[in-house]
Chain A
Amino acid sequence: MIDSLYIAWQYIRSNRIRTATLIACITLISFLPAALQLLLGESERQLMSRAALTPLVIGAKGSSLDLVMNSLYFSDEMPELISMEASEWVMESDLALPIPVYARFHARGNPIVGTTLDYFDFRGLKVAEGRNLALLGDCVLGARVAQKLDLKPGDSLLSSPETLFDLAGVYPLKMKVVGVLQKSHTSDDLAVFVDIKTTWVIQGLGHGHQDVTKLKDPTLILKRSESTVAATAKLYHHTEITEKNIDSFHFHGNTSAYPITAVIAVHYDDKSGTILRGRYLSKDESLQIIKPEEVIDGLLQNIFRIKNVLDAVISVVALATIMAVILVFALSLRLRQREIQTIFKLGCSRLTIVRLVSAEIFIIVLTSGLLCGVMIMVVNQISNDLVRALFIR
C-alpha cells in the first residue's frame, strides 16, 4: 500500500493544479454544510440559553423581536422608548423584581447598557478586576470590551455622540472605568455597563455645571429672580464626572418619566408571572410583556426554515460538484489509460491498478477531509464571536 501511495503522491505532485482544484472543491462542499450547521447550532445555543434565562421583558408595543434583541443582546435595533415608570410600576406590583435596561448609546462601537446593580446579580456577572458601579459616571466593562479596547480600572472611556453634528443633543461623557467583568461568553462580554442615571447624563437629561447662584460674569446670566436663575448657553457644563464636581450633577423634572428601553421582570413565582403578564393584555395598554424564549423560538424557526432552503441549495451544488469530481476522475483515468496499459504490460495485477487509482482518490479525499477539519476547528474556535457578528449584532 505504501508503494501505491508513493506512486499516487508522485502523480499528484506532477498534477498540482488539477489536484488543488479537486481538493478545493471537495473541501468546500464538505465544509459549507458542516460550518453552517455548527454556526446555527451555536447561534441557537447562544440565543436560546440567554432567552431561557430571561423570564419576562416589558417594553413598548411594536416589534417583540427588536425588544428582545436590544434588551438581551444589546443589538442596534432600538425599540420605542418607555419611561422609568414602567419599572417602578412592576416594583409596586410586588410580582417581580424589575431591572431597567437602557441600551441606546455606544462607546467606541460597544453598547452602553444603563441598568441597576440587580442586573449583575441576575446574570451572575462577577467583577474580575476593580470594583462594581458605585458612583455616577462609573462604568464596568465586559471582558471582551476591556480586551479589545485595552482598558483597565483607572482608565477612562468616552461615550460616542449619536450623530456627529448633533450639537444640541448628546454630548460625549468621559466615563471612569472602575471594573472589568469576568468572561461570561454572552453579549455581556461586549457591553459597557453604567448606572441607568449615567445614561441619562449621557443623553443630557442630567448634567453638572457651575453654581449659577455664585456666577459673577453677567454674560452667563439670562434671567435672575428670587427663586430661579436662568443661565445662557455660555455656561460651562462638565463633560466628566469627578469627585469635585459630582455634587453639581442633577436631574431636572421627574425621573420616573425618564426613558429606558425595557424592563427585565424577574417574577417571584409562576403565579406572579402569570398575573403580571395578564396585566399587560389590555388593548389600551401601550406596553407589551413578552417571554423572550417564545420570541427567540419563533426567530429560530425562521432561521431553520432558511437553513432548510440553504441545505437544499447546498445539496444541489454538492451533487453538481460530486458529478464534476467524478467526471474529472473519469477523464483523469482516460488520460492515464496509457500508464495503465504500461503497468499492465509490465505485469501489474488488476487489484494493484485499482489500488493505485484508489490511492490517488484516498490522498485527495484525506487531504480535503483534513483541510475541512482544520477549517471547522477554526470556525468552532471563533463561532462564539462569529455568531454574534452574523446573527445577533
Chain B
Amino acid sequence: MTLKNSIMIRIRNLDFNYLTGDFHLTISKLNVEEGEKVAVIGPSGSGKTTLLNLIAGIVPVINGNIRVEETRIDSLNDAQRRNFRITNIGFVFQDFELLDYLNVTDNILHPFRITSALNLDENVRKRAIILAEKMGIGDKLKRQTDNLSHGEKQRTAICRALLPHPKLILADEATGNLDPENKIRILDLLFQAVDDHAATLLAVTHDHELFKRFDRIIDFRNFQSEGMV
C-alpha cells in the first residue's frame, strides 16, 4: 500500500501497556505531516516519552500500527528497528544519554562510530564542529562530559541528534532546564535543522511560552478521553 508523501508519522489503533504497572496508552489515530513542527504536551506519566520510544522503535509496538514515512515500525524486528532508528531518527533524550568517557566531539560523532550505515568522514567532522559552534559549545569540544554544565550537556546531545541529518527529530524535553536565552537559541537551531533538511520535529515540552512557535500542539489529555487527533 502506498501512502501520501506528506505524512511522516501515521499511527492507527495503537494500544500499548508495559508488562508491569497500570500504565496504558491508546491512540486510535494520529498523523504528523512531513516538515511539521509538533509540540507534545501533557501531564507527567501520560505517555509522551513512551510515544516517542514507540515511534523510534525503542519500545516494540504490541497492538496497532505505526508508520514513519513508508516504514511500518510495528512489523520490523529488533535488528531492523535499530537500523531504522540510527539512519532515520535523531533522538534528543530527556537525560541526554552522553558517554562520560568520551569528550564532546566524540559524543557528537558517536552514532557514526557505532554503525556502518553512517559514514564518518572529514566532512562530517567539520559539520560537527560547525554545529557545536552554532550551539555555543565550540570551545568545549575536547572537554569530557563530566566537566560540562547541564545546559552544555543538553546542547551536546542535540548536536549528536542533528549531525546525521535525520528525517525525523524526536526531542524529549530538549529545552528543559535551559535559561530563556538558550532555550530560544536551541529551538531556533532545531527549527533551522528541520527547515534545512525538510525534517519533521516531534518535541515533548512543558514550556508554554514556546508553544506558539510550533505548527501544532498535541495534548495528551485528549488521548485519555477520546484517543484521536
Contacts and interface: CB of A to CB of B under 8 A. Distances in A.
A348 B101 contact: no
B106 A346 contact: no
Contacts of A3: 112-114, 120
Interface stretch (A6-14, A142-150, A276-284, A385-393): A6-14
A358 interface: no
Interface residues of A, number: 22
A343 B114 contact: yes
A22 B84 CA distance: 38
B82 interface: yes
A252 interface: no
B124 interface: no
Contacts of A343: 110, 114
Nearest to A353: B114
Contact of A356 (B84, B111, B114): B114
User: Looking at chain A's contact residues, is the secondary structure mostly helix, strand, loop, or mixed?
Assistant: helix
Interface string A256-274: 0000000000000000000
A345 interface: yes
Contacts of A6: 113
B99 A349 contact: no
Contacts of B78: 350
A339 interface: yes
A11 to B, nearest CB: 5
Contacts of A352: 114-115
B107 to A, nearest CB: 10
A253 interface: no
A348 B102 contact: no
B79 A347 contact: no
Contact of B91 (A13, A346, A349): A346
Interface residues of B, number: 28
A15 B144 CA distance: 13
A362 interface: no
B86 interface: yes
Contacts of B207: none
A342 interface: yes
Interface in A345-392: 345-350, 352, 356
Contacts of B106: 7, 10
A59 B166 CA distance: 91
Contact of B114 (A10, A11, A14, A346): A346
Nearest to A3: B113
Interface in B62-117: 78-79, 82-87, 89, 91, 93, 97-102, 106, 110-115
B58 interface: yes
A363 to B, nearest CB: 14
A358 to B, nearest CB: 14
Interface string B20-62: 0000000000000000000000000000000000001010000
A356 B110 CA distance: 12
Contacts of A236: none
Contacts of A339: 99
A10 B102 contact: yes
A216 B102 CA distance: 97
B124 to A, nearest CB: 12
Contact of B115 (A10, A11, A345, A347): A347
A344 interface: yes
Most buried by B among A6, A14, A343, A347: A347
Contacts of A356: 114
A350 B78 CA distance: 9
A345 B113 contact: no
Contacts of A349: 79, 82-83, 115
Given A3-B113, A3-B114, A347 B84 contact: yes
Given A6-B113, A10-B106, A352-B115, A347 B99 contact: no
B101 A342 contact: no
Given A4-B113, A7-B114, 15 more contacts: A6-B113, A7-B102, A11-B101, A14-B101, A341-B97, A342-B97, A343-B110, A346-B85, A347-B85, A347-B87, A347-B89, A348-B114, A349-B82, A349-B83, A349-B115
Closest 5 interchain pairs by CB?
Answer: A347-B86, A347-B85, A14-B101, A3-B113, A342-B97
12 contacts: A3-B113, A3-B114, A4-B113, A15-B101, A342-B99, A345-B97, A346-B91, A346-B97, A346-B110, A347-B85, A349-B115, A356-B114
